[in-house]
Structures are given as C-alpha cells and as structure tokens.
Amino acid sequence: MQALAEKFSSYGILHIDAHADLRQAFEGFTYSHASIMYNALQLAAINRLTQVGIRDLSQQERALASQDPRVIQIDDWQLKAKAFRGIHWHQQCEEIAATLPEQVYVSFDIDGLDPHFCPHTGTPVPGGLSFNEAIYLLQTLVKSGRKIIGFDLCEVAPGPDDGWDGNVGARLLYKLANLMFLSQ
C-alpha cells in the first residue's frame, strides 16, 4: 500500500474481512494484522476505505470508523438485512462500488467469507459472504470502470487433513489476478 501511495496520489481500498483491522496496536504490536487498516489510513494517498462484511470489531474501531469520513463500513448485518428486505446483491454491489474512487486496492481476508469456505482460518466469525457473492462484488467493481491497482489475499490456512481452504484461496487469487488484469 505504501509503494502504491508513491505511485498514485490517491486511491481507495476495498477491504473484505470479518474484522475491521482498525486497532492502533494489537497486543503492543503497531504493525499487527489487527492494525493494518489503521496504518493504511496514515497514508495521505488513501482517500477511501470501504469495508465489506465486517462482523467483529471493538468499540474503538467503530468510533474511529464513524469519525473518519474516509471510512465506510458495510457490515454483514447490513448486507443481510438489505437482502431480507428484497434488495438484490447486484444493487448492493453497485452501491459498494460507487463508494470507491477510480483506483482501488483490494484487501481480501479469507475470513470475510462464510467460515464454510475457510474453516481453518485463524479467526473465523459466523456470517460472511459466499464465494460467489465475493466474486460478483469484484466483477461489479471492475464493470463499474474502477481499476484494481493491487491486491492482497491473507489468512488462508489449509487444514491438516484437507486442502479445502487452500483450494478456495487459490481460486480467489486466480480471480483477483484476472480481474486486476481485466480492469487495466
């Protein structure tokens, strides 16, 4: 993200995760996995952080998100409530994409998916996106004209007896790479 901030004067982040990762530090470590988005917001180039599927955050993280106008949190409950009211996933994806600027970095934590798809990740949380919902969101982002300028995929942890998590992670990585290329 820092390297991209040197290349692009401004860009946004689409953050798909179960956790907000907005802690100033976690267990005394400033550059913790639980602090990555807090640290990203310290970069002047970051003009938007749209967090999707969040379902586990602290009071301090919620306060930071509500105080920083660059942060938009669309938690899992909001997504599901809209679906229960009949708002189709397509419309929700278009609304999410519209929150982001032209250049977008995608940060995808595997636990943003329903734990069915990633049962061995270190910090699973009930709820989350399906694999197809996540791919559709990324496709909608690209179809909206936004350019994916970089991405990460993290917390993929295959289990000791099967490769299911690795399979899901590899397929997500393949889709992210192809969608980034397509968006260019």
What is the reported pLDDT for 40? 97
Q: Does domain 2-183 have CATH number 3.90.1150.10?
A: no
CA distance 125 to 54: 10
User: Residue 137 — pLDDT band, cuts 50, 70, 90?
Assistant: very high
- Rounded to two decimals, what is the model's pTM? 0.96
Q: Where are the domains of the chain?
A: 2-183
pLDDT tens, residue by residue, 113-123: 999 999 999 88
